[in-house]
């Protein structure tokens, strides 16, 4: 099996890379393609993966790329597909940040919001679309798209982030049906708070915060079972879904009191 992971230089992406490298023999993984914007961190992650996979002879191939660069992503993916058939793509790259509708006296950070949308939505599309024709031709493949439990609520303190993750979730859910007859599996992943650079920037309580390693274990096992929806932690997911059914004016008053999410 050949796997490609975006956003592999930190957080969930890094933990997934480590998971698959450690379990390469068990899962019959031959090649692990990793990409991220930070070349230095990506090199460190790749070296750790190589160390973890010494007994399996897994091949680790890193590439520093920005998922918002459509042509560079397509060129890289086309190059990969000339020599490797990718079985699993994990579109994980994402960034976070505050709101366009600030509840403070801080100016609106339009550029930050645009960057969040470009990375979290367009970056996912730039990752998935080049692979789909190849997978359709093979009538095989698995696309895993990382959204967030934040996709279930319009958060005033993270307007660009929550809306970008909602767009990604809806898009992934649509692909589940669209690609079903091509025998391409699609998983949409909605984690809660996971230890990462994104959550380290938060200055507010984060219920059910879990390690990236635990999150990677849940995600990888869900992918192996070809689950369409991988949501966790379950108590947080249930609570958020219940809140989403409240009348809008109640949610408005509750969420207007919450702290903002800082950029990362």
Q: Mapping DSSP to helix (H, G, I), strand (E, B) and coil, where does residue 11 land?
A: helix
pLDDT band per the 50, 70, 90 thresholds, residue 105: very low
**Hey, where are the domains in the chain?**
2-255
Question: Average per-residue pLDDT in the chain?
Answer: 86
Residue 143 neighbours by CB under 8 Å, 6+ apart: 89, 91, 128, 131, 132, 135, 172, 175, 179, 184, 185, 186, 187
Burial zone of 257 (CB within 10 Å; 0-12 exposed, 13-18 middle, 19+ buried): exposed
pLDDT tens per residue across span 126-183: 999 999 999 999 999 999 999 999 888 877 777 889 899 999 999 999 999 999 999 9
How far is CA 50 from its chain centroid? Answer: 22
Angstrom distance (rounded) from CA 210 to CA 228? 22
Structure tokens at 249: 């004016």
pLDDT at residue 53, rounded to an integer: 82
Q: Which of 61, 84, 181 is nearest to 131 (CA)?
A: 84
Its pTM stands at 0.86
Angstrom distance (rounded) from CA 9 to CA 44? 8
The CATH code for residues 2-255 is 3.40.50.720
pLDDT at residue 83, rounded to an integer: 92
């Amino acid at each position: 099996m050949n796997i490609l992971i975006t956003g592999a230089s930190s957080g969930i992406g890094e933990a997934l890379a480590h998971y698959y490298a450690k379990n390469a023999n068990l899962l019959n993984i031959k090649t692990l393609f990793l990409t991220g914007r930070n070349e230095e961190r990506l090199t460190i992650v790749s070296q750790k993966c190589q160390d973890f996979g010494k007994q399996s002879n897994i091949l680790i191939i890193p590439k520093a790329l920005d998922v918002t660069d459509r042509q560079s992503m397509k060129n890289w993916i086309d190059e990969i597909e000339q020599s490797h058939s990718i079985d699993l793509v994990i579109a994980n790259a994402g960034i976070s940040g505050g709101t366009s509708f600030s509840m403070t006296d801080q100016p609106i950070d339009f550029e930050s919001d645009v960057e969040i949308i470009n990375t979290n939505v367009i970056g996912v599309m730039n990752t998935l679309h080049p692979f789909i024709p190849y997978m359709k031709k093979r009538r095989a493949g698995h696309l895993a798209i990382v959204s967030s439990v934040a996709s279930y609520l319009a958060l005033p303190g993270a307007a660009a982030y929550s809306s970008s993750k909602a767009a990604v979730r809806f898009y992934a859910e649509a692909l589940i049906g669209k690609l079903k007859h091509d025998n391409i599996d699609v998983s949409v992943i909605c984690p809660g708070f996971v230890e990462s650079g994104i959550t380290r920037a938060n200055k507010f309580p984060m219920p059910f915060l879990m390690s990236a390693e635990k999150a990677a274990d849940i995600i990888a096992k869900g992918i192996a079972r070809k689950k369409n929806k991988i949501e966790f932690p379950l108590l947080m997911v249930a609570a958020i879904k219940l809140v989403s059914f409240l009348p809008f004016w109640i949610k408005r008053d509750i969420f207007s009191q919450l702290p903002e999410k800082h950029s990362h």
